[in-house]
Amino acid sequence: MNTPLERLLTGIEGLDSILEGGLTRNRSTLIAGTSGSAKTVLAVQFLAEGIIRFDEPGIFVTLEESPDDLRKNMAGFGWDIEKWERQGKWAFVDASPRGSEQPVIAGEFDFGALIARVKHAAGKIGAKRASIDTLAAIFIQFKDIDIVRRELLLLVESLKEMDITSLITVERLQEYGSISRFGVEEFVTDNVIVLRNPMENERRRRTIEVLKLRGANHNKGEFPFVVSTGRGIAAIPLTSIELKQLSSKKRVTSGNKELDKMCSGGVFRDSVILISGATGTGKTLFATQFLHGGVQQGERCLLFAFEESRDQLFRNADEWGVDFREMEKSGLLKVICMYPEVRGLEDHLLAMRETIEEYKPHRMAVDSLSALERAGHPRGFRELIIGLTSYIKTKEITGLFTATTSTLVGGSSITESHISTITDTIILLRYVELFGQIKRGITVLKMRGSMHEKEIRELIINETGMKIHEPFRQLVGVLSGHPQVLPELLDGNHE
Partner 1 sequence: MKFRLFICDSNTSSQLAIRNAQSLVSSLDGSDNSLEIIDVLVNPEAAEQARILATPTLIKEEPTPVRMLVGDLSDMARVRAVLHLPSKVKEESSR
Interface segment toward partner 1; rule CB under 8 A; list 4-12, 95-103, 332-340, 452-460: 95-103
- Minimum distance between the CB of residue 26 and partner 1, rounded to whole angstroms? 22
- Candidate ranges 102-110, 335-343, 430-438, 454-462; the one touching partner 1 (CB under 8 A): 102-110
- Which of 60/391 has CB closer to partner 1? 60
Instruction: Tell me how far, at minimum, the Cβ of 369 lies from partner 1, in Å.
Output: 54
Nearer to partner 1, 112 or 183 (CB): 112
Residue choice 138, 152, 226, 365 for contact with partner 1 (CB under 8 A)? 138
How far apart CA 138 and CA 44 sit, in angstroms, is 19
Helical (H) or strand (E) element with 129: strand 129-133
Q: Which stretch binds partner 1 (CB under 8 A): 25-33, 136-144, 342-350, 435-443?
A: 136-144
Q: Which is nearer to partner 1, 65 or 424 (CB)?
A: 65
What is d(CA 22, CA 188) in angstroms, rounded to the nearest whole number? 20
Among positions 3, 107, 221, 493, the unique one binding partner 1 when judged by CB under 8 A:
107
Q: Which is nearer to partner 1, 54 or 142 (CB)?
A: 142
> Taking the CB of residue 492, how many other CB atoms lie within 10 A of it?
6
Q: Among 2, 100, 229, 417, which residue sits at the site for partner 1 (rule: CB under 8 A)?
A: 100
Residue type, 104: V
SS3 457: strand
**Residue in 74, 114, 170, 195 binding partner 1, rule: CB under 8 A:** 114
Q: In the complex with partner 1, which residue's Cβ is closer, 168 or 193?
A: 168
CB 93 within 8 A of CB 3: no
CA-CA distance, 209 to 163, in Å (whole number)? 25
Instruction: Please give the C-alpha separations between residue 153 and each of 5, 111, 186, 230, in angstroms, as whole numbers.
Output: 21, 11, 11, 35
Residues with Cβ < 8 Å from 485, sequence gap 6 or more? 474, 475
Angle at the Cα of 393 from the Cα atoms of 392 and 394, rounded to 5 degrees: 95
- From 100-108, 268-276, 282-290, 327-335, give the range in contact with partner 1 by CB under 8 A: 100-108
Under DSSP, is residue 335 helix (H, G, I), strand (E, B) or coil? strand
Assess 311 for contact with partner 1 (CB under 8 A): no
Comparing CB distances to partner 1, the nearer of 116 and 460 is 116
Among 80, 94, 260, 433, binds partner 1 (CB under 8 A): 94
Q: Is 58 exposed, middle or buried (0-12, 13-18, 19+ CB in 10 A)?
A: buried
For partner 1, the closer of residues 107 and 177 by Cβ is 107
Please choose, out of 106-114, 301-309, 326-334, 349-357, the segment that lies near partner 1 by the rule CB under 8 A: 106-114
Q: Which is nearer to partner 1, 69 or 396 (CB)?
A: 69
88 binds partner 1 (CB under 8 A): no
> d(Cα 431, Cα 278) in Å, to the nearest integer?
8
Pick the piece of the chain touching partner 1 (CB under 8 A) from 89-97, 188-196, 376-384, 479-487. Answer: 89-97
Per CB under 8 A, does 170 bind partner 1?
no
Q: Which of 27, 39, 71, 119 binds partner 1 (CB under 8 A)?
A: 119
H/E stretch holding 15 reads: helix 15-18
User: Does residue number 446 form part of the binding site for partner 1 (CB under 8 A)?
Assistant: no
For partner 1, the closer of residues 6 and 110 by Cβ is 110
Among 1, 3, 55, 101, binds partner 1 (CB under 8 A): 101
* Minimum distance of partner 1 from residue 12's CB (angstroms): 28
DSSP letters spanning 18-31? HTTSSEETT-EEEE
Closest CA to 407 of 276, 282, 274: 276
Maximal CA-CA distance, the chain: 107
Closest CA to 107 of 142, 155, 68: 142
Among positions 95, 301, 303, 427, the unique one binding partner 1 when judged by CB under 8 A: 95
Catalytic option among 65, 151, 307, 416: 307
Q: Do the Cβ atoms of 60 and 118 come closer than 8 Å?
A: no
DSSP, collapsed to helix, strand or coil, labels residue 399 as strand
Distance CA 78, CA 232 (A): 8
Q: Does 146 bind partner 1 (CB under 8 A)?
A: no
Among 2, 3, 102, 464, binds partner 1 (CB under 8 A): 102
Q: Does 104 bind partner 1 (CB under 8 A)?
A: yes
Catalytic annotation, pick one of 49, 56, 64, 299? 64
For the four alpha carbons of 176, 180, 183 and 189, in that order, the dihedral sign comes to negative
Q: How far apart are the C-alpha atoms of 209 and 220, rounded to whole Å?
A: 7
Among 1, 2, 3, 108, indicate the residue that binds partner 1 (CB under 8 A): 108
Check if the beta carbon of residue 186 is closer than 8 Å to that of residue 179. Answer: yes
3-class SS of residue 420? coil
Residue 223 φ then ψ, to 5°: -120, 140
Active site residue 64: yes
What b/e readout covers 241-265, taking b as 16+ CB neighbours within 10 angstroms? beeeeeeeeebbbbbbebbbebbee
Site string for partner 1, 45-84 (x = CB under 8 A): ----------------------------------------
Select from 1, 3, 98, 437 the one that contacts partner 1 (CB under 8 A).
Answer: 98
If one asks whether residue 199 binds partner 1 (CB under 8 A), the answer comes out as no
Residues identified as active-site? 64, 307
Which positions lie near partner 1, rule CB under 8 A? 93-96, 98, 100-114, 116-117, 119-121, 138, 141-142
